[in-house]
């Protein structure tokens, strides 16, 4: 029985793909690279972000040397766009349903705790989220991935069994985390990653809409 649902934030509960793409393109242009279309973005986006920027013409050494500046450029551009982004269709209804069934919900993200907390309050979703596992500083996801370690430690501390946990996201990273921790994974289309990349990562489920999660959880 599922007792905990671990949600990715960007592109999964929060419909901000275009905002992130705009901010990433702003960074790319700032460091001499070639901005990308939405199709190319979904086909090539990857964490750490510096790998993605380098793929589109930015120099790795320059990015690393100016990592703090990269984070600030991205964050200032993104946060302004994010102010008008909405929750993914069906997110509030799903979170309310999970709450009514005493199923815990947490967020696991490459974004910042502060940024997510602000949007949760703005969208009136805070009451449904027990904990946010994310980064303390902008720019962390530019140079490393740490979602796996954060979730592993959380599950250990909370004494959850792998069979009780479900991870939901819009990227191959969630599928990978699921396999590494022995938990079921669900990937949702039309977020940050092309559907072909989601399929290649072989999650347990691929869905078109968040409402499909109810059936998966109910079993």
* 3-class secondary-structure state, position 211: coil
* 3-class secondary-structure state, position 153: helix
Domain boundary among 82, 106, 128: 82
Give CA–CA dist 171/46, Å, rounded.
Answer: 9
Instruction: Kindly state whether residues 65 and 153 are assigned to the same domain.
Output: no
Output the pLDDT for position 67: 87
Q: How much is the mean pLDDT over the chain?
A: 94
Q: What are the distances in angstroms from CA 73 to CA 22, 25, 77, 136?
A: 11, 11, 6, 17
- Written as six digits, the tokens of 32 are 């001499």
CB contact at 8 A, 7 and 168: yes
Say what the pTM is: 0.94
Confidence band for 139, pLDDT divided at 50, 70 and 90: low
Domain that holds residue 46: 17-82
Give CA–CA dist 134/11, Å, rounded.
Answer: 15
Instruction: Kindly state whether residues 78 and 98 are assigned to the same domain.
Output: no
Instruction: Kindly state whether residues 72 and 90 are assigned to the same domain.
Output: no
- Residue 168 phi/psi, 5-degree rounding, is -125, 125
Instruction: Kindly state whether residues 64 and 102 are assigned to the same domain.
Output: no
Instruction: Kindly state whether residues 136 and 98 are assigned to the same domain.
Output: yes
Confidence band for 187, pLDDT divided at 50, 70 and 90: very high
Domain boundary among 56, 82, 108: 82
Instruction: Kindly state whether residues 73 and 127 are assigned to the same domain.
Output: no
Instruction: Kindly state whether residues 61 and 106 are assigned to the same domain.
Output: no
How many domains are contained in the chain? 2
114, with CB counted inside 10 A (0-12, 13-18, 19+), is middle
DSSP 180-192: HHT-EEEEESSSS
Instruction: Kindly state whether residues 9 and 23 are assigned to the same domain.
Output: no
């Amino acid at each position: 029985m599922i007792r905990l649902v671990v949600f990715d934030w960007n592109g999964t509960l929060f419909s901000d793909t275009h905002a992130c793409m705009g901010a990433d393109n702003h960074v790319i242009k700032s460091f001499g690279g070639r901005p990308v279309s939405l199709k190319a973005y979904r086909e090539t986006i990857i964490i750490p972000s510096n790998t993605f920027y380098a793929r589109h013409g930015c120099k790795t050494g320059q990015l690393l040397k100016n990592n703090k500046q990269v984070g600030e450029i991205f964050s200032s551009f993104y946060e302004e766009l994010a102010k008008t982004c909405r929750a993914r269709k069906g997110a509030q209804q799903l979170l309310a349903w999970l709450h009514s069934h005493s199923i815990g919900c947490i967020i696991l993200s490459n974004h910042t705790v502060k940024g997510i907390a602000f949007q949760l309050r703005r969208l009136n979703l805070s009451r449904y989220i027990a904990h946010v596992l994310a980064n303390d500083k902008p720019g962390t996801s530019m140079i490393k991935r740490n979602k796996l370690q954060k979730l592993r430690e959380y599950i250990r501390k909370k004494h959850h069994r792998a069979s009780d946990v479900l991870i939901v996201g819009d990227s191959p990273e969630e599928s990978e985390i699921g396999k590494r921790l022995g938990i079921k994974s669900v990937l949702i289309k039309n977020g940050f990653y092309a559907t072909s990349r989601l399929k290649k990562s072989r999650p347990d489920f691929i869905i078109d809409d968040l409402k499909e999660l109810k059936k998966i959880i109910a079993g």
